[in-house]
A and B are shown apart, each in its own frame.
Chain A
Amino acid sequence: MKNKLKLTCFVLFLICSFQLKAQQREWSGQVWDEKLNEPLIGVSVTVQGSSAGTITDFDGKFRIRAEVNQTLNFSYVGYTPQSIQLRSSTDLSRVLMREDTKVLDEVIVVGYGVQKKVSSVGSISAAKGEELLKTGNVTSVSEALQGMMPGVVSIMNDAKPGADEADIIIRAKGSWRSSQPLVLVDGIERDMNDIDANEIESLSVLKDASATAVYGVKGANGVILVTTKRGVNQKPKISFSANFGFKEPLTRPEYADYVTSMNMWNEAATNDLQYSKLIPESKINAWQNAFATGNVGPYNPYFPNIDWWDEMVNDMGYQQQYNINISGGTDFMRYFSSIGYLNDGDIFKTQKNELFDPTFKYQRYNWRSNFDFQLTKSTVLSLNLSGRQGYRSQTGYRINDNNESDTSFGQPQFFRMLYTAPRNMFPITWEDGSYGLTPSAESSQNLRILFDKGQRLYKYYQNFIDATLNQDLSFITKGLKFNGKFGYNVATRSRDDFMRYDNGGPFGEKNFIGYSREYDYSQPLPDGGYVMVKQERWVDSEFQGEKPKANYDLILDGGFDKRLYYELAFNYDRSFGNHNVTALALMSRNEIEGLAGSSATNLKFKENDEAWVTRVTYNWKERYLMEFNGAYTGSQKFARGLRYQFFPSYSLGWRISEEPFIKEIAGESLDNLKIRYSSGIVGYDKSAEAYTYIQLYKNAGGNVSFGETEKTNYGPLYSEDKAANPNATWETAYKQNLGIDLMLFNKLTATVDMYSERREGILMTVATPAWFGIKEPDGNVGETKSRGIEMEVGWNENINKDWSYWVKVNFAINENRVIYRNDAADYPDYRKYAGKPIGVINKLQVTDYYQSLDDIFNYATANNSSTQSKLIPGDFMYLDYDADGTIDNVLDKIPVLYNNYPQNTYGTTFGFRYKSFQVNAMLYGVVNVYKDVDALMLWDLSEGNDYNYFANPDVTGRWTADNAANAVKPSLHSDFGGYSMTSGTSYSFQNASYLRLKNLELAYDLDKKLINRVGMKNVQIYANANNLFTITSFNRQLDPEGNSSALYPLVRRYNIGTRITF
């Protein structure tokens, strides 16, 4: 048998050699990189079955002798090998080789390590640093993540420069307490938003129990891992990028014209029988005439007409961003160093003056140096030094607290003024230059004053130092490594205040001198003016202005903290034949100190935590995969004995594509097909209040007095605080995930993940009987469940050397329910939390308009007597859900179908390359989201009682007897405050679903030959835009994502820039 085989071979060989001999000739050709479209140097070219071979020269060219029908093999490190069978007509002038982007060798960052993507069994989404850079130069990493990965929801709430980070929810809300994920930068808990995206190598989002269990008591809401760039052993590579951007607000207020508004006010006052509030016809006529003749304007003393948005908002704001970094290395040291600068400017027409600069802006300096020292052959010491200094400046307005978050009192009131400031009450300045004011003489209504009261300058400093020692312990046993890590973060936050006038508290009322004047429009004067009937000066007649004032370097509340982190770990990674085993044993600790959150002077209690982590993975031929993760983590918030828990997870995977029989059927076309399942337990302790296990007493002060004739006090009194719960602990999530990864033809990739989660032990106030006696304790009683599907499908194709395109579509669907939230037993079902989504919203349901007085008297009454007495035909009729004859603000509010946070999201990234020209775009959408529209845009004339008449453009569509069938909004009222039930109704709750062109980028690579001459490797010029257009049915005056008039308006950005590599 053996001999036979040998013989056959021999014969075949003879035949072949005969043929070869017969037709051997010289072939020449050139090898090209398919994607970069440039020649490849040093590709090895061999003739199959012979020893003949060569490598390509400097221009990618080669010459080789071979016969027709022989096969040429091309191979190059990092590229997919290529084989070409020679025919007599074969043209070798363009042999294309493609970079091996096949996932096979790709690694992803997982908790405390990296894994090969093919053999990983967790549900992990990853993005590369380059992808983050292509998101329209947004200023925070959290915003850049929007739409990029399925199951990662990022919501923008504000666009104030330097305070515009987005909220991130991973997969879904699992609890009503907090959905904040854990964020780690280079393995240490840090804020990721202020990292320069140029420093980021990759970003992983860990979603299922398999991936997050290693974070134990911190991981239940998902984990984001940011990894920064490191140097490689090569010649220095310098990258420079510069970006210049413009930005403009996405939405703006709209109004009906003033004459219409006044007429509508008269209708509203008539509706309410408030005849004393009517505006005289003489005034309306005078205004009508003024508009007709164009005798109006922002500085017109008699007919002021100010469009505050135009006055205060610039057409364009500016933004600049620069980064230069260098990376490279030698045998001894590898380095990556980066310096970045960001200047995010203002969309308001604020101007620097002699005392201060009230511009909203953010200047940020980022620095980073990552070094790796190869101390010995088996020892690497890594050192990361990085940080940022940020200067956030803004107009000084009244902010009550000293917190870093200044979004509480002050800010909403300030920005909402852009919508509500009087437009026709006073000119911006009178002819003599003094300011125009409202009759009640409050200066705060003139936005020109408001934007010039002072400045606040916030200063942020963060410094991060990490050192890591990697020691190969192969001398003990092969595959064993030791790793020790030390990290130290320091952050300080302080602010300066600059005030124009030192009086009336921080940015108080006494500042500018101005006048309010009132004219009688029925008494025109010959000079075109009118008789002035009233004038008031503010501040009082003696006031001549005050000295300016400034405070420097006030520490913000909680404005200092430091964190010490260290970890020790053993890694083991070894293959025994077809058995591949890895193992990890790790111990880590965090020690956090700093100012208490509500104080600029008091330190908080030191917070410690500790984790003991292990992971074991095993696979056979990368075909059958198994992984076990476990973390024994502790939280100091709870009682002894309840501080530690072991959080295990296991996962199994099966790469069907590796089965021989599948390979046989599918052949080359199936690159990867993997099914994976994981199940495990993760915790979350951040939303738990600390130390509730200790029963505290307090000195309640006070006393009781006794004594018949002489009073004697006995005190102080002592009282017991809120009841302790010695059993309090963190919330626990039980997660399961079933995923399928598919790759076909090396072009189509698809990932589907289905998951379900049960969250138990959510810490909340426990209902206790009345006779318990003290304030009820917190207990781990809350329970929720959620489930969902995430899907991502990508297609990547190179049509020919000039054309290639890619599409990636992702979508995520999630639903959740509260199982238990301490509902009162006797509540009717519709009022219980249980069985409804987390954060359920209850609204009064608008059923119709009252069409007649009969309707008003026959229908259920409003439980608020002042509302009932004001009802007129054309007002909303609300559903009396409990049918008790009263429309009640509590009992008749019923749950609505949708939530105000996105649960269904979809994103599409697509683009193409044609030669050196490249286009990239991203669409992002959310569906089934409803949000409240500001009452201002729904209920017209809300400020009319302050003589500030303005209505929305659709005011003429209000209900009237004649217009009853086509009414778009209810009939008008003059007393908005007295007419209650204007909030919390289905009228204001509108569909805030949207589809947005999140990002569009056009890039062009300059001709390599040209730039190589001046020493550059790569020059790319690009233009991009962010939030270019939005399709939504939400109110036009508001953005569906920010949905508030009381914030720094969300912006659209246009950028041009360049990326240069030397």
Chain B
Amino acid sequence: MKQYKYIIILLISLISFSSCEEYLDKSPDLGLSEEEVFSNFFTVRGYLDQCYNCVLDYTFWRANGLERAHMGQMSDEGANPYSNNMAKFTNKGQWLANKQAPDVGWGEEFVASPRGNVIPNAFYALRVANKVVQKAPLMSNLTEAQRTQLLGQAHFFRAWFYFEIIRRVGGMPLLDKAFSSDDDFDVERLTYHQSTDWIIDQLDLAISLLPDAWPSQEVGRPNKSAAYALKSMAELYAASPLMCNPIDKIENNGYDVERAKKAAQYAKECLEYIDVTAPKHKMMPGNQYKNIFYHFPNYYSDESLWYLNSVGKNRNSTPDLPIHWQNIHWSKRAGNYGQANVSVSQNLVNKFETINGYKAEPDCYRMGE
């Protein structure tokens, strides 16, 4: 009997030594947890605002792999002795086979920054927007105004970035959630039209949530008119013969008239809305046409319904010269800047008439004629 007592005491002392899980619970405080980020308005906004870095900024010289060249170089409109990758891919016909190719490259080198490729940036931003759409409604310490603000932008960005993708590569699977690593990735691809329908849904939500105008310090965030306009644009693309295809074949069956009509309808809604709510936005009259992008510090005009705010982003820096069809070697900087000398081709010249209204033919170049 006495022996059992010993055994029991020993067993108890061994077992009560601890509970295993707690002993190994050393989860370190390495960084921020998801709970912390989604704990208040300012951190969530800081998270959502990454989307603005993912928007393709045509005015930034490093956006889209542009570097020291300009878009014309990718076609027959210009040439550049500076052999940057962009021109190499495109002119060699390797545009779709290279991960850093501008516009369609899948390389993730600069993802989530203005230098990132469009599609990886869009996937990244979609994840951010999806997370906010998922989490913001559940947060308890947001005011209704804050929640509306976040969700309005998130729905707009869902539409914007999804549109950026599908108009480049066609219909995509529905990307309406932030996938976690154990999700099933084997999802079905939608047609372009199905994808567009989701965009329209998102924009309807955005229209209901976004403000008519932002306070002056926040101008640059999308407002209602931006969502209206995007809606029309997305629908118009969907009417294109290429976009009318199912996912497994490509044929030309002409425009989708119904969608074109809808696009026109959305455009009308947009214009009507502007007339009533935002009369400041208007088509620029003909005599101001040449100044349409001639604004400082932002390259926008009253025509712009939404623009990427470039204040303070040095869009007037020397490397940005090619954006304006200027030769970068005029920057008088050495090295690659000096040699990256864009020359327009005759093809481009031929597209314009001379100052006298003649066709641009060799004997017409004499000045003053």
User: A residues bordering B, Cβ < 8 Å?
Assistant: 473, 475-477, 482, 568, 570, 587, 589, 605-610, 612, 634-636, 640-641, 643-644, 691, 694-700, 702-721, 723-727, 766, 768-774, 776-777, 779
Residues of A within 8 A of B131 (CB): 720
CB distance from B136 to the nearest CB of A (A): 14
Partner of B47, one of A587, A713, A717: A717
Which residues of chain A have C-beta atoms less than 8 A from B25's C-beta?
636, 640
Nearest CB of chain A from residue B273's CB, rounded to whole Å: 20
Q: Which residue of the partner chain B has the closest CB to A695?
A: B34
A623 vs B43: C-alpha distance in the bound complex, in angstroms? 71
Across the interface, which residues of A come within 8 angstroms of B36, CB to CB? 697
* 30 contacting pairs across A/B (C-beta < 8 A): A608-B23, A608-B24, A634-B20, A634-B24, A636-B26, A695-B34, A696-B31, A697-B33, A697-B34, A699-B32, A703-B49, A705-B311, A706-B214, A706-B309, A707-B309, A707-B311, A708-B220, A710-B216, A714-B46, A715-B49, A716-B46, A717-B50, A717-B53, A718-B47, A719-B50, A719-B112, A725-B182, A768-B181, A770-B106, A773-B124
Q: Contact: A696 with B46, CB < 8 Å?
A: no
Is B28 a contact of A605 with CB atoms below 8 Å?
yes
Q: Is the CB of B123 within 8 A of A771?
A: yes
Closest 3 pairs (CB-CB, A-B): A773-B127, A777-B181, A706-B220
A112 to chain B minimum Cβ distance, whole angstroms, is 15
CB pair B23 A697 closer than 8 Å = no
Contact (Cβ within 8 A) B7 A476: yes
Bound complex: CA A768 to CA B309 (Å): 33
Tell me the bound Cα distance from A769 to B172 in angstroms.
Answer: 12
A959 vs chain B, min Cβ distance (A): 34
A610-B23 contact, Cβ under 8 Å, with A718-B32, A724-B181: yes
A766 in contact with B181 given A705-B309, A706-B218 (CB within 8 Å)? yes
Asked whether, in the complex, the Cβ of B216 is within 8 Å of the Cβ of A725, the reply is: no
Q: Which residues of A contact B216 (CB under 8 A)?
A: 707-710
B179 touches A772 (CB 8 A): yes
Interface contact B23-A705, CB-CB below 8 Å: no
Q: How far is the CB of A633 from chain B (nearest CB, A)?
A: 10
Task: For the complex formed, measure the closest distance between the CB of B336 and the CB atoms of chain A, giving whole angstroms.
Answer: 20
- Which of B23, B112, B123, B221 is within 8 Å of A772, CB to CB? B123
Q: A713: nearest residue on chain B (CB-CB)? A: B312
Is there contact, CB below 8 Å, between B217 and A587? no
For B32, what are the chain A residues with a Cβ–Cβ distance below 8 Å?
Answer: 696-699, 718
- Closest residue of chain B to A710, judged by CB? B217
In the complex, are the beta carbons of B178 and A773 less than 8 A apart?
Answer: yes
Among residues 156 to 196 in chain B, which have CB atoms less than 8 Å away from a CB atom of chain A?
172-173, 175, 178-182, 185
Q: Which residues of B contact A717 (CB under 8 A)?
A: 46-47, 49-50, 53
Point out the residue from B20, B28, B214, B219 that lies within 8 Å of A610, measured CB to CB. Answer: B20
* Distance between Cα atoms of A776 and B123 in the complex (Å): 13
Which positions in B face A, CB cutoff 8 Å?
3, 6-7, 10, 14, 17, 20-21, 23-28, 30-34, 36-37, 43, 45-47, 49-50, 52-53, 106, 112, 119-120, 123-124, 126-128, 131, 172-173, 175, 178-182, 185, 214, 216-221, 298, 309, 311-313
A residues near B3, Cβ cutoff 8 Å: 475-477
Please give, as numbers and ranges, the residues of chain A lying within 8 Å of B175 by CB-CB distance. 771
CA of A609 to CA of B23, assembled, Å: 8
What residues of chain B lie closer than 8 Å to A773, measured between beta carbons? 123-124, 126-128, 178-179
The contact of B53 among A609, A644, A704, A706, by CB within 8 Å, is A704
Taking CB atoms, residues of chain B closer than 8 Å to A697 are 31-34, 36-37, 47
Further pairs besides A708-B220, A713-B312, A768-B185: 14, Cβ < 8 Å:
A610-B23, A695-B34, A704-B52, A705-B313, A706-B214, A717-B50, A720-B128, A720-B131, A725-B181, A726-B180, A727-B181, A766-B181, A770-B120, A771-B126
Residue contact A589 to B28, C-beta cutoff 8 Å: no
CA distance A180 to B179 in the complex (A): 35
**Known pairs A476-B3, A723-B181; A589 contacts B26 (CB<8 A):** no
Whether the Cβ atoms of B31 and A698 lie closer than 8 Å is: yes
Tell me the bound Cα distance from A431 to B184 in angstroms: 78
Q: How far is the CA of A723 from the CA of B31 in the complex (A)?
A: 14
A705 contacts B312, C-beta separation under 8 Å? yes
Asked if A707 and B217 make an inter-chain contact with CB atoms under 8 angstroms apart, the answer reads yes
Q: Nearest-CB distance from B296 to chain A (Å)?
A: 11
Cβ B123 vs Cβ A727 within 8 A: no
Nearest-neighbour CB distance to chain B for A1032, whole angstroms, equals 44
With the chains together, A772 CA to B173 CA distance in Å?
Answer: 12
CB distance from A724 to the nearest CB of B (A): 7
Known A634-B24, A698-B31, A770-B119; contact A714-B45, beta-carbon cutoff 8 A: yes
State which of A570, A589, A714 has its C-beta within 8 Å of the C-beta of B49: A714
When the two chains form the complex, which single residue of B24, B37, B214 contacts A609, counting CB atoms closer than 8 Å? B24
A634 to B28 CA separation, bound complex (whole angstroms) = 17
Give the complex CA separation of A195 and B276 in angstroms. 87
Q: How far is the CB of B71 from chain A (nearest CB, A)?
A: 24
- Report B-chain residues with C-beta under 8 Å of the C-beta of A777: 181
How many whole Å from A693's CB to the nearest CB in chain B? 9
In the complex, what residues of A have CB within 8 A of residue B180's CB? 723, 726
Contact B185 A772 (CB under 8 A): yes
Residues of A within 8 Å of B21, CB to CB, are 640-641, 643-644
Question: Are B46 and A715 within 8 A (Cβ)?
Answer: yes
Query: Contact at B127–A774, with CB atoms within 8 Å?
Result: yes
Residue of B214, B220, B221 with most chain A CB atoms under a 10 A cut-off = B220
CA distance A988 to B218 in the complex (A): 63
A589 to B19 alpha-carbon distance, docked (Å): 13
Chain A contacts of B127 at CB under 8 A? 720, 772-774
Task: Give Cα A724–Cα B33 distance, bound, in whole angstroms.
Answer: 11
Q: Is the CB of A636 within 8 A of B24?
A: yes
How long is the Cα–Cα vector from A473 to B2 in the complex, in angstroms? 13
Nearest-CB residue, chain A, relative to B44: A718
Q: How far is the CA of A711 from the CA of B179 in the complex (A)?
A: 35
Q: Whose C-beta in chain A lies nearest to the C-beta of B180?
A: A723
Let me know if A708 and B219 touch, CB within 8 A: yes
Name which residue of chain A comes closest to B119, CB basis.
Answer: A770
Find the A residue at minimum CB distance from B43. A718
- Chain B residues, CB < 8 A from A714: 45-46, 49, 218
- Can you name the residue of chain B whose Cβ is closest to the Cβ of A777? B181
> Contacts of B33 on A, CB cut-off 8 Å?
694-697
Bound Cα distance A696, B31 (Å): 6
Of chain A, the residue at the smallest CB distance from B183 is A772
Return the chain B residue nearest A702 by Cβ.
Answer: B53
CB A479 to nearest CB in B, in angstroms, measures: 13
Residue on B nearest A591 in the bound complex, by CB = B23
Given contacts A698-B32, A773-B178, contact A610 B218 (CB under 8 A): no
The smallest beta-carbon distance between B110 and chain A, in angstroms, is: 13
A396 to chain B: closest CB distance in Å? 36
| Complex CA distance for A773 and B131, rounded to whole angstroms | 11
CB within 8 Å for A691 and B28 given contacts A707-B216, A771-B175: yes
A644 partner residues in chain B, CB cutoff 8 A = 20-21
Nearest-CB residue, chain A, relative to B37: A697
Inter-chain CA distance A716–B10, complex, in Å, is 57
In the complex, what residue of chain A is closest to B17 when comparing beta carbons? A587
Nearest-CB residue, chain A, relative to B308: A704
- The distance from the CB of A430 to the nearest CB of chain B, in whole angstroms, is 40
By a CB distance below 8 angstroms, the chain A residues around B120 are 770
Q: Which residues of B are found within 8 Å of A707, using beta-carbon distances?
A: 216-220, 309, 311
Contact of B6 among A476, A640, A696, A770 (CB under 8 A): A476
| Docked CA distance A284–B13 (Å) | 88
- Minimum CB–CB distance from B154 to chain A (whole Å) comes to 14
For A605, the chain B residues whose CB sits under 8 A away are: 26, 28
* Chain B residues, CB < 8 A from A706: 214, 217-221, 309, 311
CA distance A707 to B26 in the complex (A): 45
Bound CA span A643–B25, Å: 9
- Residue ID in chain A nearest B173 by CB atoms: A771
| B residues less than 8 Å from A634 (CB atoms) | 20, 23-24
Contact partners of B37 in chain A: CB under 8 A: 697, 718
Bound-state Cα–Cα, A605 to B52, Å: 36
Residues of B within 8 A of A768 (CB): 179, 181, 185
